[in-house]
Chain A
């Protein structure tokens, strides 16, 4: 029996629900392009909420850049096929402005220094250089800069977040750092607590009041108090301001290890905002098959069987790397999962990974991916665009090691911007 699947017609299909996918859908919708976004959202939940632009180059020297724009200049002159080299610097600026303005309006505002990376406290006590920081975390950047008298709070039963670990690790450079452990209100009967239920629980003001009451006696001479990231999912700024007022000193969040709420905030923000801008979301579904028709592409979309047929003039492939499912490796080679596009390979498997996990040079496999032209078209083996209306964005692109260069979100946002503009120009 042939089942009739709902057919959706659109101009652009965005494949992927990570940073590059959501940025593509956002930029497309703002340009009046009718858009369908399809993909699994399982990757974005690992996001820390921080938006890196560019931090380390050359990675083998571990050189950390204070100014991300200068870092991009150095990077693109040393690695001319890095995707950043294909985007006009002004366009990267514009992409960030547009993206951050959207986040601000959507209730997830970010802070940044225009031309400087910010330093963030990490849960293991290391310090991360990043570009944009959620407003609820920004005071942590200031606290670390000023080395002011600061208290870090942790929560009984919350695994993988030890305030003592942070203060011990940082204390030589920051003697005014203290730590204290609290029990989150009404969790005494629980052996473990998780950030998501705690965060949801803080949307009620009486729970915020109870938390503040527990924290206040620990504050003493501290002028700032740091918490694990728990200040709500949808209304984090309101919760942060309210708690700050009740506690009486400046407060901030520190990212936690997964499962964390920081990625959830981004996911839920976009899932509620994009449909309002006319994006049709087909999330938790996969592209099962794509074929061409004369107007563009026909995509079969569903869980295991086809549930929707999407006809689109063009596609932005933002399906990520191995974790996202955009790339797949067998013992011999790396493949692109949906179109079987040519993938820039990095030799035999013995070359893929270094003997040492933390090798400063990084692992060669992270440089594999799709070759593109300046229009962000994936290229065939002859160096020609595979299809005129197929574009690629984000971590699936070759010649970049976002893990080590600390350019993941920046690359996602900037390449999405470039790909959407290229689509608009082409179609």
Chain B
């Protein structure tokens, strides 16, 4: 087998860690071989790859976009105590309780152990409130009742109209870091990650998927991977992958939109103490808070974006619990899709199982193909363990799962997408020529240079959108107004943009950023949007 490695790394820090983020770009008609192919670079695929790698199995993880591009990157970042599920599904609740405890011990670097509150306000279902502590106890979930004075003392933003408060052990988790750390260790153990690699089909003979056909989304090149076992961990896209292999999965799609606040609102996770509904959870995430979510059944996975109606609904509902949410500034809205298992006849998505399903596809006539879908961020490790058990069983490998007991090593270097990372590095090795292109998020020229370089190494071309995806540019308070123009000019200076490509690039960039701010345009963000339109349309005429 002949192939060459091509870097997909984002920063120079990664060069030291050679295996990580190196992309394999096979020459024509190259077949890669591995023991297990895992499809889907979300937290489930990352967890399975690590679990198998720890059992000595060689894996390739493929992802059509980027790490956590689906629901793993578009959620609250909530590590459930399990209390959310005590009234509905006690199995889910107990799984969350146990997995939450394991992760707090095994991956503390990814978790902020904030604790959580469940609060009910005037008008909420009193029977639900009254049953809650007993239901928690039955599932073994520790819960402590607080009186209103105590609750307001520890979280002064709560409404004065709260009628009941219980303290539980919810926590905040950084889903991006969690996936990165899992993948990092797997790569250290000899596995391979291929990003921007989309599965286009399977070659199936005698009840086996002999090979998987893929296409590099950046270069268009096609290649195949021969694996003894194939795991479909594509989340909401698992149905599409299964169809390519001639299998069926009964999945429904539920869109959930979330809002990011400008500042951190509360220290703890705040849950509404009522049956699961819209906008009933506020989770701290570093310096911001994340509020959500909605649950809207959708038929197609294209065009997943948050709407004005969802935003208003979320803000209106959540303000009953925390009045300040009515007035606070929101900086971004985003939406993800939950893959839910169940029949289409059920009307409320929330009554569908939030549990997971591992399908062996034996009934579909395939012996070396498995799908894992549904589930939650909190239970990703358990999902990985169960999947890896099935695969090991099929491969005749008897080594046990280690992820329950072996700590997850921190990956060290993080990427430029992490808020605050670029300024730290810039401060550390400041070069006088290294001027800031983005002042809101402090992204200097040198970061753009390293992104451009890594895109070159994968034979790609840099434009504003590609740089926006790989850095904090466009994600600050100016919504890309100034950094977009400065970065565009800089890309011409370094010969990355030619002819009138800059105009196209600017248009794509601002339209892309628009999706996440459009639902939030009142008060200050509306003023910012007006300034942006004055500059991009009024002055430059980019709409013409």
Binding site for B on A (CB under 8 A): 46, 48, 56, 62, 64, 122-129, 157, 159-162, 164-165, 168-169, 171-172, 191-192, 255, 257-258, 321-323, 328-331, 348-350, 352-353, 355-360, 362-363, 365-366, 402-404, 406, 408
Are A168 and B543 neighbours in the complex by a CB distance under 8 Å?
no
Please, how many angstroms separate the alpha-carbon atoms of A245 and B363 in the complex? 87
Are A191 and B533 neighbours in the complex by a CB distance under 8 Å?
no
Q: A160-B485, A349-B308 are in contact. Are A403 and B533 (CB under 8 A)?
A: yes
Are B486 and A159 neighbours in the complex by a CB distance under 8 Å?
yes
Task: Write the nearest CB–CB distance from B353 to chain A, whole angstroms.
Answer: 32
Q: Which residues of A contact B362 (CB under 8 A)?
A: none
Q: Which residues of B contact A192 (CB under 8 A)?
A: 435-436
Q: A169-B500, A328-B523 are in contact. Are A124 and B506 (CB under 8 A)?
A: yes
Q: A124-B503, A169-B500, A169-B502 are in contact. Are A360 and B543 (CB under 8 A)?
A: yes
Binding site for A on B (CB under 8 A): 307-309, 312, 315, 432-437, 482, 485-486, 488-490, 492-493, 495, 497-500, 502-503, 506-507, 510-511, 513-514, 518, 521-523, 526-527, 529-544
Are A353 and B486 neighbours in the complex by a CB distance under 8 Å?
no
Are B503 and A46 neighbours in the complex by a CB distance under 8 Å?
no
Are A171 and B499 neighbours in the complex by a CB distance under 8 Å?
yes
Are B309 and A257 neighbours in the complex by a CB distance under 8 Å?
no
Pairs A-B, 5 closest by C-beta atoms: A165-B492, A162-B489, A357-B514, A350-B308, A403-B538
Question: Which among A125, A328, A350, A406 is the interface contact of B503 at CB below 8 angstroms?
Answer: A125
Q: A257-B535, A258-B535, A323-B534 are in contact. Are A358 and B510 (CB under 8 A)?
A: yes
Count: A-B pairs, CB below 8 Å: 152
Q: A124-B506, A358-B511 are in contact. Are A165 and B541 (CB under 8 A)?
A: no
Are B309 and A330 neighbours in the complex by a CB distance under 8 Å?
no
Can you list 21 residue pairs at the A/B interface with Cβ under 8 Å? A46-B535, A123-B485, A126-B503, A126-B544, A160-B485, A160-B489, A162-B489, A164-B493, A168-B499, A168-B500, A255-B539, A258-B482, A328-B523, A329-B526, A349-B308, A350-B307, A350-B308, A350-B309, A366-B533, A404-B537, A408-B538
Q: Which residues of A contact B532 (CB under 8 A)?
A: 357
Are B502 and A165 neighbours in the complex by a CB distance under 8 Å?
yes
Are B538 and A402 neighbours in the complex by a CB distance under 8 Å?
yes
Q: Which residues of A contact B521 (CB under 8 A)?
A: 329, 349, 352-353, 365
Q: Which residues of B contact A402 (CB under 8 A)?
A: 538
Are B432 and A356 neighbours in the complex by a CB distance under 8 Å?
no
Task: Write the nearest CB–CB distance from A302 to chain B, whole angstroms.
Answer: 22
Please, how many angstroms separate the alpha-carbon atoms of A192 and B439 in the complex? 13
Q: Which residues of B contact A404 (CB under 8 A)?
A: 537-538, 543
Question: Which among B435, B485, B492, B514 is the interface contact of A164 at CB below 8 angstroms?
Answer: B492
Please, how many angstroms separate the alpha-carbon atoms of A365 and B514 in the complex? 15
Given A168-B499, A403-B534, 4 more A-B residue pairs with CB atoms under 8 Å apart are A126-B542, A161-B489, A165-B488, A191-B434
Please, how many angstroms separate the alpha-carbon atoms of A168 and B503 in the complex? 11
Q: A357-B510, A403-B537 are in contact. Are A322 and B530 (CB under 8 A)?
A: yes
Q: A46-B534, A159-B435, A356-B511 are in contact. Are A124 and B485 (CB under 8 A)?
A: yes
